[in-house]
A and B are shown apart, each in its own frame.
Chain A
Amino acid sequence: MRHRSPGRPARLFIILTLLSAACSTTGDEIRQHQKNLQSLASTADAIGRAWLDGAVSGAYARTALEQTFLLVEQERRGLTSTPQMAADPAGGQLADAADHLARAVALVRQQVAAADAEGVRRRLGEMPMRPASPR
């Protein structure tokens, strides 16, 4: 009986890793940015809801939302960082969505600073790019 080489899964894994890196396209990069932006929208939502529930302080919510805003801006810049990405219609749409998200996060932060719970609740309901619901 022929034995399976113990190094085979490791070799397969390295080959798949190299292939996945080599075959990365503009479409893949845009999908990655979309995933990151959805994560940030979900983060802003989680921070806002935790603040509304009184589980986190205003100081934490403000700084965490500020950091989230910076990360959204970083993603937005990434979407227009190459001519290929900027020319791609899907990339353009996502950059617009990122712009909306950045503004929404900034507004939630402002309302947290003003202790405006009703405003935060309303903004969270309208938060763009939020994943549908917890899996």
Chain B
Amino acid sequence: MSALVDLVLGIVTSIGGFVEAGSISTAAQAGSEFGYQLLWAVAVATLMVAMLIEMSGRLAAVSKRPLAAAVRERFGIHFQIVPLAAEMVIDVLLLAAEIGGVAIAVKLVTGAGFVRWILPIGGAVWIVLWLFGFGVIEYGIGLLGLVTLSFVVSAWMLKPDYADVARSLVPSLPHDDYLRYAFLAVTIIGATVSPYLLNFYSSGTVEEKLTEDKLWINTATAYAGMCFGGVVSMGVLVTSALTLGPRQIVVDSYEQAALMFVQPYGHYAIPLFAMALGVGCFGAAVELSLNSGYVAAQVFGWSWGADKARTEAARFTAAFTIVLVTALVLGLIGFDPLRLTLLSVALTVVIMPAVVLPFLVLMNDPKYVKQHTSGAVGNALLAALTILGGLLALVVVPLEIFGG
């Protein structure tokens, strides 16, 4: 019975925690500019993240080591320092973007400038991290995040042509604007398959003391949770395609994105969109901060754990506090949160091979996963998609950013 409760809670919180600044902004842009045509990118990214999440949980449950600690042990600190630094930089950028997303959500409702909300929101994130253990953070945020199901409901209320939706799951070339199309495909993948998720999930598996005999819970949670989460992202894309696309509104700000709820929800549109954006971004901000503490502590061999008294894991606490403060400084400078989000998620795809490929090596090393090594098809698929995504990102990200 307890295993079943764990499973249901795991799936529900995965759905609630799936959508945040990156997935909302990239799916809204894709829908407004290319209709349903980029749904395949959401599907591919969802499959990739489900496979990677399942593997990171399996690694942690069998080896009793989280991903960052296992990579450090297997490859050494000299190998890990570059991807680690890159991941930390992207985590800070993403964290600033998520805090900016919460601030924009407050601005949508109150009308007051978003920069003034940055510090109070940062303070709230830190208080949550200081006061609560892993279970409250994971389940509390995941359950609140179920408000993002409003994107699925809105897509359903708008009565899309389901045959068109299904056809868009097969990749196709756009009529024009290939560069923009490729850039959005890259950002959708980057927004979904964040390295922080892998570290966070594997650390969570260790915190929850999942054992080898309960690997089925990990598999079911990863695949069912991520697939339902992917449906929420598709809901954003379909809603945007049906409401903003026909008006030729290209999403360049969250204020524009919020308009996608006016047709399905009327008076409730802006508060509901703000709640979905705010809760999704706040949850991601807490997870990103906590993850930075996890990674730093695991790589340098410090005591770590959200369930430990903060004084028992002082350097872990200091690490997530420093990352949070750095992100707040970045947010206070006043970067446009939506552009910062797009930049961070695009860069995520560039560094993805450096994170995923060593991980695949670990997943085929019986010293870490015993008999639970990954299959050849999964290995090949993930390696190919990661390398292809990284190469495509290397080409399109500079062209899109520097080419205006």
Q: Is the CB of B178 within 8 A of A134?
A: no
Q: Is the CB of B259 within 8 A of A43?
A: yes
In the complex with contacts A50-B262, A56-B270, A36-B107 CB distance below 8 A: no
A87 within 8 A of partner (CB): no
Tell me, in angstroms, the Cα distance from A62 to B360 when the chains sit together: 50
Set of chain A residues within 8 Å of B107, measured between Cβ atoms? 63
B399 within 8 A of partner (CB): yes
A71 within 8 A of partner (CB): yes
Report A52-88 residues with CB < 8 Å from chain B CB: 54-60, 62-64, 67-68, 71, 78
Report A1-49 residues with CB < 8 Å from chain B CB: 9-10, 12-14, 16-21, 24, 29, 32, 35-36, 38-40, 42-43, 45-47
Set of chain A residues within 8 Å of B108, measured between Cβ atoms? 60, 63-64
B267 within 8 A of partner (CB): yes
Known: A21-B179, A42-B248. 8 other contacts (CB 8 A): A24-B403, A40-B252, A43-B256, A46-B247, A60-B111, A64-B259, A67-B255, A134-B246
A122 within 8 A of partner (CB): no
Min distance, Cβ B111 to any Cβ of chain A, angstroms: 3
Complex A-B: 17 CB contacts under 8 Å: A9-B171, A13-B173, A13-B182, A17-B181, A17-B395, A24-B403, A35-B248, A35-B250, A36-B252, A42-B247, A54-B267, A55-B269, A57-B109, A63-B108, A64-B255, A71-B253, A135-B245
Tell me, in angstroms, the Cα distance from A13 to B107 when the chains sit together: 40
Q: Is the CB of B262 within 8 A of A46?
A: yes
In the complex with contacts A10-B388, A59-B109, A20-B179 CB distance below 8 A: yes
> Chain B's interface: helix, strand, loop or mixed, by majority?
helix
Set of chain B residues within 8 Å of A29, measured between Cβ atoms? 404
The one of B110, B177, B252 in contact with A39, judged by C-beta atoms closer than 8 angstroms, is B252
Set of chain A residues within 8 Å of B267, measured between Cβ atoms? 54-55
Q: Is the CB of B395 within 8 A of A78?
A: no
Q: Is the CB of A47 within 8 A of B250?
A: no
Of all chain B residues, the one with the shortest Cβ separation from A40 is: B252
Min distance, Cβ A7 to any Cβ of chain B, angstroms: 9
Q: Is the CB of A56 within 8 A of B111?
A: no
Q: Is the CB of A16 within 8 A of B253?
A: no
Q: Is the CB of A43 within 8 A of B171?
A: no
The one of A18, A58, A60, A134 in contact with B109, judged by C-beta atoms closer than 8 angstroms, is A60
Interface residues on B, range: 35 or more
What mask results when residues 262 to 289 of chain B are scored 1 for a CB within 8 Å of chain A, else 0? 1000110110000000000000000000
Tell me, in angstroms, the Cα distance from A32 to B253 when the chains sit together: 17
Min distance, Cβ B272 to any Cβ of chain A, angstroms: 12
B141 within 8 A of partner (CB): no
Tell me, in angstroms, the Cα distance from A55 to B261 when the chains sit together: 10
In the complex with contacts A17-B395, A17-B396, A43-B259, A135-B270 CB distance below 8 A: no
Min distance, Cβ A118 to any Cβ of chain B, angstroms: 21
Report B148-182 residues with CB < 8 Å from chain A CB: 171, 173, 176-179, 181-182
Min distance, Cβ B333 to any Cβ of chain A, angstroms: 17
Min distance, Cβ B251 to any Cβ of chain A, angstroms: 9
Tell me, in angstroms, the Cα distance from A93 to B352 when the chains sit together: 44
Report A119-135 residues with CB < 8 Å from chain B CB: 131, 134-135
In the complex with contacts A14-B395, A56-B270, A63-B248 CB distance below 8 A: no
Tell me, in angstroms, the Cα distance from A97 to B184 when the chains sit together: 29
Report B202-254 residues with CB < 8 Å from chain A CB: 245-250, 252-253
B258 within 8 A of partner (CB): yes
Min distance, Cβ A21 to any Cβ of chain B, angstroms: 4
Q: Is the CB of A60 within 8 A of B270?
A: yes
Set of chain B residues within 8 Å of A21, measured between Cβ atoms? 179, 399, 403
Min distance, Cβ A90 to any Cβ of chain B, angstroms: 17
Of all chain B residues, the one with the shortest Cβ separation from A74 is: B252
Of all chain A residues, the one with the shortest Cβ separation from B247 is: A42
Q: Is the CB of A131 within 8 A of B179?
A: no
Of all chain B residues, the one with the shortest Cβ separation from A15 is: B178
Set of chain A residues within 8 Å of B259, measured between Cβ atoms? 43, 46-47, 50, 64
Set of chain B residues within 8 Å of A58, measured between Cβ atoms? 111
In the complex with contacts A55-B269, A63-B107, A36-B250 CB distance below 8 A: yes
Q: Is the CB of B246 within 8 A of A135?
A: yes
Q: Is the CB of B111 within 8 A of A62?
A: yes
